Amino acid sequence: MNYAGLVEEILKKYKEALGINDEVRVKIKKYKTKSAFINLKTKTIFINENLLELGEEVLRYLILHELIHLKLNSKYHDSEFNRTLYSYIPPEKVSELRGLIVGKMLHPSRINTMNYSTAKWCNDCRQE
């Protein structure tokens, strides 16, 4: 499936919302262990192609998450990060989407598996 149009639409919406004027590129590739990450220097967001089948909400979350790293110029998930994130997607929804992502990373061939206990997000990002 071609997600290019949807990616552009989501990117435009959240760049405007966050007040990001830089050119941001999104690359979609298959990764074994990474869900999504951003190169803050080249302003390029990388998204794991395997996660696209989880649907549009997950794609929105992944792009927003990485754009917030760009906006704050930080790879940390600190209180400012979470406050910004939760102003667009409520915490309960974020938990749900993260559960879907973690389940998919653990079991790529299954759909909609949930596993919160081993929740690990954004391998490239430093943990708090």
CB of 45 to Zn ion, least distance (A): 11
Q: Which two tokens stand for residue 43?
A: 């302003």
Binding-site size, Zn ion (CB under 5 A): 2
Eight-class DSSP state of 44:
E
Q: What are phi and psi of 101, to 5 degrees?
A: -65, -45
**Taking CB under 5 A as the rule, does residue 68 contact Zn ion?**
no
Q: How far apart are CA 58 and CA 124, in angstroms?
A: 18
Of the residues 122, 123, 126, 127, which one makes contact with Zn ion according to CB under 5 A: 122
Say if residues 113 and 107 touch (Cβ distance below 8 Å): yes
Say if residues 123 and 33 touch (Cβ distance below 8 Å): yes
Residue whose CB is less far from Zn ion, 7 or 125 = 125
Of the residues 24, 26, 51, 125, which one makes contact with Zn ion according to CB under 5 A: 125
Q: Which stretch binds Zn ion (CB under 5 A): 4-12, 88-96, 106-114, 115-123?
A: 115-123
Say if residues 47 and 63 touch (Cβ distance below 8 Å): yes
**Taking CB under 5 A as the rule, does residue 36 contact Zn ion?**
no
Binding site residues, Zn ion, CB under 5 A: 122, 125
